[in-house]
Amino acid sequence: MDDKALLARYPQEELFGLVFPGATFHKPTYYENRAKFTCTVASVLAEHEAAGNSNKGRWSSYLAAHRLARGEGSKPPGRSSRSNLK
């Protein structure tokens, strides 16, 4: 979705709808996740892309591995696991 020819033809929100039909475009969420995808450790990205449509290939699995590779915690700041909820 960063293709300059496509972006010249379609606004980002419209292009998102073409790539992900039925999904709602939330600009802050899109750019936050895009940054995590474009600023990644190459081996982490390759491993999760190769996993395909398995649990290891899920976005949540990739994000956890991405955070660990960057020396961050396994969960984003301000988030707790469900087991801590009462």
List, for residues 40-65, the tens digit of each pLDDT value: 888 888 898 899 888 888 888 888 88
Query: Is 39 among the domain residues?
Result: yes
Is residue 12, in this structure, part of any structural domain at all? no
Q: How many CB atoms lie within 10 A of CB 48?
A: 20
How high is the pLDDT of residue 86? 43
Name which residue leads in pLDDT, 2 or 25: 25
Query: What beta strand segments (E) does the chain contain?
Result: none
Please determine, for residue 6, whether its predicted confidence score (pLDDT) is greater than 60: yes
Q: What is the mean pLDDT of residues 2-19?
A: 82
Domain-embedded: residue 47: yes
The one-letter code for the residue type at 71 is G
Domain span at 61: 25-72
Q: Does residue 82 sit within a domain?
A: no
User: How many domains are there within the chain?
Assistant: 1
- Nearest CA to 62 out of 31, 28, 27, 38 is that of 38
Whether 61 is covered by a domain: the verdict is yes
25 phi and psi, to 5 degrees? -85, 120
Percent of all residues in the chain with a pLDDT value above 70, rounded to a whole number: 83
* pLDDT confidence of residue 15: 85
- Evaluate whether residue 36 is within a structural domain: yes
